[in-house]
A and B are shown apart, each in its own frame.
Chain A
Amino acid sequence: MKTVEVRALVKTFDGHLRKRRGKADTVRALDGVDLAAGPGEYLVLLGPSGCGKTTLLRTIAGLERPTEGEVLIDGQVVNGLPPRVRQIAMVFQSYALYPHKTVMDNIVFPLRAEKAPKETRERKARWAAGLLEIEPLLGRKPRQLSGGERQRVALARALVRDPAVFLLDEPLSNLDAKMRATARDELKRFQQQIGTTTIYVTHDQAEAMGLGDRIAVLERGRVRQVGTPVEVYDDPADTFVATFIGSPPMNLVRRGDRLVGFRPEHLLPAESVPQDARITMTLQVERMEYLSGDRHVYGTVTGLGDATRVIARLPATLDTPITPGEPHEFAVPAGRLRFFDADAGTRAPAVPIGDR
Chain B
Amino acid sequence: MSARRAGLADRDGFLAWVMLLPSVIYILALVGVPFLLAVAFAFSDVTTGDPSYDFVGFGNFTAVFDDGVFWRSLWNTLLFTGCSMVLIVVFGKILANLLIADFHGKWLVRFLILLPWTTPVALSTISWLWFLDSIYSPVDWTLRHLGLIDQNVVWLGDPNTAMLSVILVQTWRLTPLAAVIVMAGLVAIPRDIDEAARIDGAGFWRRMFEVTIPLSLPVIAVAALFGAIMTFTDMTVSYVLTRGGPTHATDVLASWAYFRGIEGGDVGQGAAIALFLFPILLAGVVAILRAVRRLEAR
A–B direct touch in complex (beta carbons closer than 8 A): yes
The reply to whether A90 and B102 form a contact with Cβ atoms under 8 Å apart is: no
The answer to whether B215 and A113 touch across the interface, beta carbons within 8 angstroms, is no
A17: nearest chain-B partner, CB-CB: B102
Find the B residue at minimum CB distance from A87.
Answer: B201
Residue of A with least CB distance to B193: A96
- In the complex, A301 Cα to B203 Cα: how many Å? 62
The answer to whether A94 touches B211 (Cβ under 8 A) is no
A81 to chain B, nearest CB (A): 12
Q: What is the 8 Å Cβ interface bit string for chain B, positions 85-127, against chain A (1 contact, 0 not)?
A: 0000000000000000010000000000000000000000000
* Bound form: Cα–Cα A60–B217 in Å: 32
B interface secondary structure, majority: helix
Contact of A94 among B190, B197, B200, B210 (CB under 8 A): B190
With the chains together, A134 CA to B202 CA distance in Å? 24
The reply to whether B198 and A82 form a contact with Cβ atoms under 8 Å apart is yes
How many residue-residue contacts, CB under 8 A, span A and B? 61
Check B193 against A110 for contact (C-beta < 8 Å). Answer: no
A96-B190, A100-B298, A113-B206 known; A84+B214 contact, CB < 8 A: no
Contact A88-B215, Cβ < 8 Å, known A94-B190, A94-B192, A113-B206: no
Q: A17-B102, A100-B214, A113-B206 are in contact. Are A84 and B192 (CB under 8 A)?
A: no
Which residues of chain A are near B263, meaning CB under 8 Å?
Answer: none
Docked CA distance A88–B196 (Å): 11
The answer to whether A100 touches B215, judged by C-beta atoms less than 8 angstroms apart, is yes
Chain B residues positioned under 8 Å from A90 (CB to CB): 195-196, 199
Task: Count residues of chain B with CB under 8 A from any CB of chain A.
Answer: 19
User: Are A98 and B199 in contact (CB-based, < 8 A)?
Assistant: no
Contact partner, A99, options B199, B200, B215, Cβ 8 Å: B215
A residues near B211, Cβ cutoff 8 Å: 98
Per the bound structure, the CA–CA distance linking A99 and B210 in Å amounts to: 11
- Interface residue tally on A, bucketed by range: 20 to 34
B215 close to A161 (CB less than 8 A): no
Encoded as 1 (CB less than 8 Å from any A CB) or 0, chain B from 147 to 163 comes to: 00000000000000000
B residues near A17, Cβ cutoff 8 Å? 102
Q: Whose C-beta in chain A lies nearest to the C-beta of B207?
A: A113
Residues facing B in A72-95 (CB within 8 A) are: 82-84, 88-90, 92-94
A 21-57 contacts with B by CB, 8 A: none
Chain B residues closer than 8 Å to A63, beta-carbon distance: 195, 198-199
A267 to B298, CA, bound (A): 59
Q: Does A157 count as interface, using CB distance less than 8 angstroms? A: yes
**B196–A113 CB distance below 8 A:** no
The 3 closest A-B pairs by CB, nearest first: A96-B192, A96-B196, A113-B201
6 residue pairs of the A-B complex, CB under 8 angstroms, read A83-B198, A96-B196, A100-B298, A109-B197, A110-B200, A161-B201
A: residues with CB less than 8 A from B are: 17, 61-63, 82-84, 88-90, 92-94, 96-100, 109-110, 113-114, 141, 157, 161
